[in-house]
Amino acid sequence: MTDESLNNAPQGAGHGPDSSKTGFGHVPVLLKEAIDFLAIRRGGTYIDVTLGLAGHSFEIAKLLGAQGHLIGFDKDTHALEIAKRRLSEPPPELKDDWPRITLLHSSFADIAEHVAEKSADGLLADIGISSMQLQDPSRGFSFQAEGPLDMRMDPHAERTADQVVNRIGEEDLANVIYEFGEERRSRRIARAIVRARPIRSTAHLSQVISAAARPMKTDKIHPATRTFQALRIFVNRELDDLEALVHGKTAGPQPNSIRSGGAALRVLKSGGRLVVISFHSLEDRIVKDALREGAHARPKRWEILTKKPVTAGDEEMDRNPRARSAKMRAAIKV
């Protein structure tokens, strides 16, 4: 998974003969580091809550053995189909030593509804958009290709980018762009979008934003980057889902359950490991705060393994420029 925050080059989960790429050009970020922090136990149960094209999952499966169990979640039905094919083709030498595979179409916010409490040895989350989604113009994620204003990771979800761009009020739209895109020109951009309605394509939206944002020479990214990020996050409720996974959400009539620790804490065994890879500050802040709060809770919930986020080395960044924005945090459930 990744974000369009630095450029529009493809990057995301992947696998292949060299264990780092697929024929789609996908590269799993921080692969070795993620596997190391998960400390895969042969015969264990591990969850990849952002399956993508199974780049990380394939490496996890290789270490589990026939008694192990790999559970994968993804909102994207197309990604699930591809991952299913990939995970059904183990390396010849592991054909008789391949784990049980369970793949589920669901948000990672809801994993506790599908996985037994305290049953998993490890959980991996690689947050953001996959390059498969980004490269498909019909999904509407990229500002560099003509496509519909869709942006749904789950093609069955109700909310689309078209609805957000063309229907919500100017003030609310500006707030979405500012909050989820950290775009300082949010009010100017929202005003331009409202005046240009109806907007029916990604290319049209990109043109409207670019004209309104008036990029400065110091800008290092496309002027539409942050607005497209904001719309995608809002359409898919990405930060809400991440909160539900690692931190627990404010919901329901019982205020004492507001900070329950999240779905990850519920499904992991004592001693189970959580590894989260994020690609921008909004996501990383949620993970950092959740782990820090859990580490200082009474009783203690998390033992933090990464005092500072793990980032890619020079070699990986040279091979895959997307990796430069990745931050990984890991913890053990106490």
Tell me the CATH number at 272. Answer: 3.40.50.150
Predicted confidence at residue 320, as pLDDT, reads 87
Residues 102 and 222 grouped into a single domain: no
Residue 291's pLDDT is: 97
Give 10-residue mean pLDDT values along the chain (334 residues). 42 34 62 98 98 97 98 96 97 98 96 97 93 91 95 96 98 98 97 98 97 79 95 97 84 42 95 97 97 96 97 94 93 98
Domain-terminating residue out of 236, 265, 294: 236
The residue among 214, 236, 258 that closes a domain is: 236
Nearest to 14 by CA among 149, 126, 98: 126
pLDDT of residue 26: 58
What pLDDT does 253 receive? 37
Q: Do residues 231 and 280 both lie within one domain?
A: no
- Give residue 321's pLDDT: 83
Question: Residue 44's pLDDT is what?
Answer: 98
Residues 182 and 119 placed together within one structural domain of the fold: no
CA distances from 210 to 5, 172, 235 (A): 15, 20, 21
Tell me: do 100 and 159 sit in the same domain: no
Residue 23's pLDDT is 39
- End-to-end Cα, the chain, rounded Å: 28
pTM: 0.89
Segments forming the whole domain that contains residue 150: 145-236
- Taking CA atoms, 297 is separated from 243, 301, 334, in Å, by 17, 6, 11
Number of domains into which the chain is organized: 2
List C-alpha distances in Å: 277 to 170, 284, 305: 33, 8, 14
Closest to 333 (Cα-Cα) out of 272, 260, 262: 272
